Amino acid sequence: MDGTSCSRVSPSLSFAPIIPSIRAQSYYSDRLLAKLVALIETIEAQVSNEAFDANLKAKQEAATKRRAASEDAKRVFSTAPLEGVASESWRSLWEQARAFSEQAAYPATAFPNTGDEARCVLCQQLLTDDARSRLRGFEDFVRGNLERSAAEAERRHQKLVQGRVEIPNDEELEGKLDLAGVTDETIQGLMRSRFATMRSRQEQFCIVEDADTLPTLPVQPVAEYLAELETKLESHASGFEEDAASSNLDEVRDQKREVEARKWLSAQRPSIEVEVDRQKGIQLLEKARRLTNTRALSEKASRLSEELVSDAFKQRFEQELTTLGASTLRVSLDKAKASKGQVWHRLKLRQVQRTVPTRDILSEGEFRIVSIAAFLADVAADRGSTAFIFDDPISSLDQFFEERVAERLVTLARSRQVIVLTHRLSLLSSLEEAARKSDMHSRVISLERQPWGTGEPGDAPLPAQKPNKALNTLLNEKLSKAKKVYQEVGSSEYSDLATGLCNSIRITIERLIEYDLLADVVQRFRRPITTVGKLDRIAKVTAEDCRFIDSMMTKYSRYEHSQPEEAPVALPDPDELHDDLTRLIEWQSEFSKREEVPQP
């Protein structure tokens, strides 16, 4: 069998397996040969004299119309500051400016935008009247008939050039010939010569102006040879199809696959035995997994929850609601489901005719107090020693619930460490009062923002300190810093610190009145009035005490108000502040040690 003929063989078991590959090869070569013939015809058409004439005509038309547009541009823009308007680079820049204006700078305004506040999209400077006129003239030119006609002619010529099929080089052509079954060296040489001439003609298209000067295509009958070869390949393929149809090819294929499978199994026997053992192990593991199905665990956990968890949990929840003063809320805690061995509970409304989520009925404060009760009911059964941290737990709560929560947290602190983070002095007062009643020690720590970070611990803020400690803080820390600024920097910077000191002294005097003068009977952030063991201490107060405190309160209240420009109240200097703080400390010390007036 060679490139021009093919011997026919009768179907038999020994030759049948090679028929499909020969038939496929012949069919493949036939198709590639048809593509090669089509490629030759396409390239010869695109390098023909007719194609040359069409290309030359389009190029000349584009050049003529471009010259007319350029002459028009020279006439229109003869007074333009710069040369080159209407050149190819200028037109490219103009279209880029149009795209930027319409897509980014002024998407809602037609290009060019020459409004009052418009800016040039290139230099981004405000447009002058001359610039507006020039931009409108540029756009009129670009949109004009001559420029549009020139651009269309150039696009038509460019389309002709870009639409050409690429001509293969010698190496690519040789590969195509081999795949198509063209093995004759003479024909291969003729094909190389023809393709080289076609490449040369195409290169001359953009250079010469006369078709007679183009290289002449060879007249050798290459196409006839290829057509004859294509016919022979089709005949061979048909013959192979007939041979395959009359043979027992399917049966032979099955036998071949069976033999190959047995051969592969024999070679892979050790690996197959290992895989069989592995699959057996997987079956055992799967059986064990089914025995540990979580459904059975969940059902058992659900039953145990009903017996040992849910009822006790519900009782603790009801007790917590009562302790927190929220027993009037119609909510209950019920088991919701059991999943993967875990039991889940949920809050639901009682005595309602249809199921409604609690968050749709309860107010924000009620929802918060119920959530706290559920949390406490859950952790109350845990006998561990883990500390509890509450971050502003009274958010959205009224004063009644706030005090109840404070009392409950103090009770919880008997068995656990309880840390409460809050910025509300009312909660701090409630916690301290509840701790005092329960004879428990509490510690107040202030967390302040510093230039080097946040959360720096320190003493409690002045409003939260006891008056005697607050007075000493003001005298020994705040006043010392202010005095140093007064002496080293000057009175201007000192005035800001002095104003803050006066404000702090006034607040501390208010605390003196609450805590010492009125014996802690009444506090601003505490709702109840406590008189037990305190009321008789008020009898120690004398008229001189009242005048002293009143004078100090009056003096340091003046700096809280706006000062008249004509006669502003001068801030006290460091020595005066030192004397007043010392007098307050001495009065507080003497008053706290003063014996109570005997009762008749």
Residue 8: the pLDDT is 34
Residue 16: the pLDDT is 38
Beta strand spans in 301-399 (E): 331-339, 342-349, 388-391
Q: What is the mean pLDDT of residues 408-416?
A: 86
- Cα 204 from Cα 212, distance rounded (Å): 11
Residue 281: the pLDDT is 92
End-to-end C-alpha distance for the chain, whole angstroms: 143
What single DSSP character describes residue 469? H
Tokens standing for 157?
A: 């010529």
More confident residue, 18 or 74: 74
In CATH, what is the architecture of 300-458?
3-Layer(aba) Sandwich (3.40)
Q: Tens digits of per-residue pLDDT, 440-481? A: 888 888 777 777 777 778 766 767 778 888 888 888 888 899
Residue 478: the pLDDT is 87
More confident residue, 16 or 172: 172
Work out the angle between the directed axes of helices 491-512 and 479-488 (0-180°, nearest 10): 160
Q: pLDDT band for 561, please (50, 70, 90 cuts).
A: low
How many other C-beta atoms can be found within 10 angstroms of the C-beta atom of residue 158?
13
At residue 218, does pLDDT exceed 80? no
Q: Tens digits of per-residue pLDDT, 235-283? A: 666 666 666 665 577 778 888 888 888 888 888 888 888 999 999 999 9
- Cα 338 from Cα 298, distance rounded (Å): 5
Most confidently modeled range among 123-137, 389-403, 450-464, 495-509 = 495-509
Most confidently modeled range among 162-171, 174-183, 272-281, 521-530 = 272-281
- Cα 591 from Cα 581, distance rounded (Å): 15
Residue 4: the pLDDT is 38
Q: pLDDT band for 76, please (50, 70, 90 cuts).
A: low
Residue 546: the pLDDT is 92
How many other C-beta atoms can be found within 10 angstroms of the C-beta atom of residue 60?
13
Which DSSP string do the residues of 255-306 spell out, in sequence order?
HHHHHHHHHHHHHTHHHHHHHHHHHHHHHHHHHHHHHT-HHHHHHHHHHHII
Residue 347 CA, distance from chain mean position: 35
Residue 153: the pLDDT is 74
Q: pLDDT band for 544, please (50, 70, 90 cuts).
A: very high
- The structural domains of the chain, with segments of one domain joined by +, span 16-47+168-245, 54-162, 251-290, 300-458, 464-593
Report the range of poorest mean pLDDT among 313-327, 344-358, 384-398, 544-558.
Answer: 344-358
Tokens standing for 259?
A: 């033999």
At residue 19, does pLDDT exceed 50? no
More confident residue, 70 or 542: 542
